[in-house]
Amino acid sequence: MISAFTGQQIRNAEQPLLDSGEGAVLMQRAAYGLAQEVVREVRKRRKLTGASVTVLAGKGNNGGDGLFAASMLARRGMRTTAVLAADAAHPEGLAAFEAAGGRVLHLESGDPEELAVVAAGSDVVIDALLGTGARGGLRGAAAELVACLQELGPACVVACDVPSGVDANSGEVHWPVLEADVTVTFGGIKAGLLADPGEGCAGRVVLVDIGIEHLLAAPELRRLTAKDAALLLPRPTRRSQKYSRGVLGVVAGSERYVGAAELCVHAAAVSGVGMVRYQGPEAAARQVLARTPESLWESDEPGRVQAWLIGPGVDGNEQQDRARKAFRSALDAGLPVVVDAGALSLLPERCPANWILTPHAGELATLLGSLHAAGEVAVTREDVESRPLHFVRLAAQQTGVTVLLKGASTLVASPSGVVFSQSEGTPWMATAGSGDVLAGVLGSLMAQSAEALTDDDGAYAALGLAVEDRWAAVAAVAATVHGRAGTAASRVFDGGPLTASAIMGAVPHVLGSLSAECDSRKR
């Protein structure tokens, strides 16, 4: 499991070491890790000696890290320039940089555009303007410099701890931000590097241990690795039969949106569920059965199911009535439910903890509006997109159920406050029907997972997941499977565009390769 922390959590962990006078040692470790990563980036492009690096240094410790790293690089034969953004700089860092022969330029007395040209001409730019001590984003001349530099498109940007302007705690972004190729982060990954829009500015994230890791509190954000997902995936045994494997009831599609039913039923079927019972109008059912003859169409009373998927493409009175009926039946039987798209507006007053809502940003804004969760102020899609971590958590707390917010990074919040972030997909997955596929995969995993979730000695317990957060983990597994399937499918087309059907086609391969990874580790 990958863990991410707030800036405050990192500072709390550092405090005992700072109190015992080890601050300088921590900074040397951070700077060394940063310098090593810059060396790696330079070597991908050219030889080290004579390569140029410009460090943009703020006045705090983040700037100190950058200046110390640049002084190490100067000693290894690189041509180093520091652009000091403020009237002051980290004194020891600046002294070390000057002693190593680095050139110092001052933003206060210079022209931001000219300095941006200098920086853009170097092989690597280190962004050490703001770190975890930032309040808001870049301002004045520093903002101008960064905006110009971003426009010029530097060859390689390495961010020190966080890209300056990205909120380390939340991933909120205060523009302008210099988008990084690599972010080298110290002591613990910052939560803002695993949540959009911050994650979109961070590039590849490299964690440098500085000796505080054992002092960190419970993470703010978690990300399942392939190994974690493999452990949590349900798998059949020799004693399995189709009913014991899990049966999923699906209320999806309508006269108008036939394809949504087709996609989510097929996605569920290829994700390992024992059987799918479909409920919907005849026009949709014909298509569903044509694509997935393994499914059953039940126009009235459904047979026994272990979980429900309700909502993709649900539209019109007739299908909305079926959705409401399925909600009641799930409530009576205590069954888990995925609530997606057209069913999000039909939710009963109170939902049980084993339900999972799967909105996109616009649907989450509408949902929060209907809950009056943000007080009198209306929440817009743009609000959710700029603060997804905040709003997904708020929605989970207000509804009392797990909420999966779809996006480039998919966030899954448990009402307890635990949040997962999965980001294995490709931007090509922003395509019609992609969400229906995710809903099908999730419904399928829910129908198969119910028993394992209460197991005190199983995989969930082995990963340290509290019982109340296990549905969120199931949703995170679905998100990673969906993302990996999209990336795998796009690779088949040399990184080209995708349809939802192509994503779905890759799901069995992803499940197979994850399971194989789990098996090879056991051997």
Ligand X SMILES: NC(=O)C1=CN([C@@H]2O[C@H](COP(=O)(O)OP(=O)(O)OC[C@H]3O[C@@H](n4cnc5c(N)ncnc54)[C@H](O)[C@@H]3O)[C@@H](O)[C@H]2O)[C@@H](O)CC1
Residues of this chain that interact with ligand X (CB under 6 A) are 14, 18, 23, 26-27, 30, 58-63, 65, 130-139, 160-161, 186, 210
Residue type, 18: L
Indicate whether 449 belongs to the interface with K ion (CB under 5 A): no
Partner from K ion, ligand X, none binding residue 311, C-beta < 5-8 Å depending on class: none
Indicate whether 160 belongs to the interface with K ion (CB under 5 A): yes
Beta strands across the sheet bearing 355-357: 189-190, 2-5, 221-223, 419-422, 410-413, 402-405, 355-357, 337-339, 307-310, 247-251, 275-279, 296-297
How near is the Cβ of 102 to ligand X at its closest, in Å?
Answer: 18
Q: Is the dihedral of CA 144, 147, 153, 159 positive or negative?
A: positive
Cα separation, 173 vs 323, in Å, equals 39
Partner from ligand X, K ion, none binding residue 132, C-beta < 5-8 Å depending on class: ligand X
Is 132 marked within a binding site?
A: yes
Partner from K ion, ligand X, none binding residue 164, C-beta < 5-8 Å depending on class: K ion
How near is the Cβ of 4 to ligand X at its closest, in Å?
Answer: 14
Partner from ligand X, K ion, none binding residue 436, C-beta < 5-8 Å depending on class: none
Is 313 marked within a binding site?
A: yes
Q: Which of 52, 80, 132, 164 binds K ion (CB under 5 A)?
A: 164
C-alpha dihedral over 315, 427, 479, 418, to 10 degrees? Answer: -100
Among candidate residues 296, 341, 346, 353, the one with its CA nearest the CA of residue 321 = 346
How near is the Cβ of 321 to ligand X at its closest, in Å?
Answer: 54
* Contact set for K ion, span 107-146 (CB under 5 A): 127
Is 135 marked within a binding site?
A: yes
How near is the Cβ of 144 to ligand X at its closest, in Å?
Answer: 13
- Check whether the bond before 197 is cis (ω within 30° of 0): yes
Is 410 marked within a binding site?
A: yes
- What SS3 state is found at 266? helix
* Non-local CB neighbours of 478 within 8 Å, separated by 6+ positions: 404, 438, 441, 442, 445
How near is the Cβ of 219 to ligand X at its closest, in Å?
Answer: 18
Is 260 marked within a binding site?
A: yes
Question: Which phi and psi angles does 12 have, rounded to 5°?
Answer: -60, -40
How near is the Cβ of 59 to ligand X at its closest, in Å?
Answer: 5
Partner from K ion, ligand X, none binding residue 210, C-beta < 5-8 Å depending on class: ligand X
Contact yes or no for 287/431 (Cβ under 8 A):
no
How near is the Cβ of 6 to ligand X at its closest, in Å?
Answer: 12
* Vertex 215 angle, CA 210 and 216, to 5°: 90
Contact yes or no for 182/203 (Cβ under 8 A):
yes
Question: Which phi and psi angles does 225 have, rounded to 5°?
Answer: -85, 175
Nearer to ligand X (CB atom), residue 100 or residue 134: 134
Among candidate residues 99, 85, 79, the one with its CA nearest the CA of residue 56 = 85
Per the annotation, where are the binding residues for K(+)? Answer: 62, 127, 164
Per the annotation, where are the binding residues for (6S)-NADPHX? Answer: 61-65, 131-137, 161, 260, 313, 360, 436
Instruction: Catalog residues that contact K ion under the rule CB under 5 A.
Output: 127, 160, 164
Per the annotation, where are the binding residues? Answer: 61-65, 127, 131-137, 161, 164, 260, 313, 360, 406-410, 435-436
Per the annotation, where are the binding residues for AMP? Answer: 406-410, 435
